[in-house]
Structure 1
Amino acid sequence: MKTRLLIPPSEGKADGGKNNPLKSVSGITADLLAAIEKADPQKLYGLKEKALKKAQAVNANVLNSKTLPAIERYTGVVYDAIAYHTLKNTSDFNDKVRIVSGLFGLVAPTDLIPNYRLKIDKLQAAKRWVNANSEQLKNTFVIDVLPQAHKKAVRYEHGIEVEFVLKKAGKKMPAGHQGKHIKGRFVRWLIENAITDPKQFIDFTEEGYTWTGELFLKNV
């Protein structure tokens, strides 16, 4: 059974591009672009002044903008920690990893995409994508490191959710922003070591996290 490793996109994205604009988009993407045009900009983006105008301009030009491979477009903490261009086996990464995008659905690392701005909890994006995404995940084993909002955009029969949790004074809490970095490191470790069996997760011990059989836990 093929393994799929699901990771989130990043809100931060590289500007510009070096490849041609998209020739076509899926019906779901087209519907979302139409919904973006009709939406209240302030409610959609939660931004003001220059940042708001930039977000509007980016989305207005999605179909005309130059593209980049998705792994180069996304620039957030998870992607910094993955450090894709230093991986020895990028082909394995490209084969296994799928990014759950609010605008483009399941995106492979080498898929060419333009800059865009859409959170997956806006315009019912997760609900719009869940059936199409889930169809692509049939007959696969999923290692799911998605945040809660992105989990709503996928369903799968076989797989495991991976959470990173902090324990302080006996109380457990999500790792939060700190968790983004360790998730990226975990993804890199999976690829570098060709890990597909959750039983092997116990060998990942970076930054003081320990696999309990259900989640990664760190005492602080």
Structure 2
Amino acid sequence: MKTIILLPPSEGKADGGNKPPLKSVSGITADLIEAIKEADPKKLYGLKEKALAKAVAVNDEILNSKTMPAIERYTGVVYDAIDYRTLKNKSDFDKKVLIVSGLFGLVSPADLIPNYRLKIDKLKAAKLWLDSNSEQLKDRFVIDLLPQAHKKAVKYDHGIEVEFVLKKAGKKMPAGHQGKHIKGRFVRWLIENNIADSKQFKDFKEEGYTWTGDFFLKEI
């Protein structure tokens, strides 16, 4: 059974691109682009002034903008920690990783996409993508590294959710933003070591995290 690693996109994205604009998009993406145009920008983006104006401008040009591979488009802590440019087996990464995008559904790292702004909890995007995304995950073993909002956009029969948990003074809490870097490091480790079985997760030991059999735990 083929292993798929599910990642969220980053909210931050690289501008520009050196590949042609998209020639076509799926029906769901087309519907969402129309919904974006009709939505109240302030409610949709939760931004103000210059940041709001930029988000509106970016989405106005989705179908006309230059594209780049998704792995280059998405920036942020998780993707910095993966450090795709230095991976020796990039082809394995491209085959195994899928990114759950609010606008484009399941995106391969090599897929060409334009800059865009759409959180998956807006415009019922997660619900719209659920059936399509889930169909693509049939007969796959899923290593799920998604936040709660993105989990609503997928269903799968075989897989494991991976969480990073902090323990302080006997109390456990989600690693949250602090867990983003280790999440990226974990994905890199999965690819570099061709990991396909959760029994091997115990061999991943970075930044003080240890696999408990259910989640990664770090005492602070």
| 1:131-180 deviation per Cα after TM superposition (whole angstroms, max 9, x unaligned) | 00000000000000011110000000000000000001111100011111
1:187 and 2:187 aligned? yes
Letter paired with 2:54:
K
TM-score, with length taken from structure 2: 0.99
- Once superposed, which parts of structure 1, at least 4 consecutive aligned residues long, lie more than 6 Å away? none
How far the C-alpha of 1:188 sits from its partner, in A, is 0.2
1:184, 1:149 → 2: CA distance?
A: 19
1:61-210 matches, within 5 Å, as: 61-210=61-210
- The total of aligned residue pairs comes to 220
Shift of 1:216: 0.3
Indicate the residue corresponding to 2:7 in structure 1.
7
| 1:103-136 Cα shifts (integer Å, max 9, x gaps) | 0000000000000000001011100001000000
CA–CA distance in structure 2, aligned partners of residues 95 and 191 of structure 1: 10
Alpha-carbon distance in structure 1 between the residues aligned to 2:185 and 2:148: 19
Once the two structures are TM-superposed, the CA of residue 61 in structure 1 deviates from its matched residue by 0.3
Q: Distance in 2 between matches of 1:72 and 1:180?
A: 18
Could you tell me which residue of structure 1 aligns to residue 52 of structure 2? 52
For 2:101 and 2:49, the matched residues in 1 are separated by: 25
1:61 counterpart letter in structure 2: E
Q: How far does residue 96 in structure 1 lie from its aligned partner after superposition?
A: 0.2
- Counterpart amino acid of residue 7 in structure 2: I
Q: Identical aligned pairs, as a percentage?
A: 80
Q: Which residue of 2 aligns with 1:26?
A: 26
RMSD over equivalenced CA pairs, Å: 0.4
Say which SS state the counterpart of residue 217 (structure 1) adopts.
strand
Distance 1:149 1:205 in 2: 27
Shift of 1:97: 0.2
**TM score, norm. by length of structure 1:** 0.99
Residue 197 of structure 1 aligns to which amino acid in structure 2? D
Give the unaligned 5+ runs of structure 1: none
Which residue identity does 1:85 align to in structure 2?
A: R
Q: Deviations over 1:3-45 (max 9, x none)?
A: 1000010000000000000000000000100110111100000
Q: Which runs of 5+ in 2 are unaligned?
A: none
Deviations for 1:62-103, whole angstroms, at most 9, x for unmatched residues?
Answer: 000000000000011100000001001000000000000000
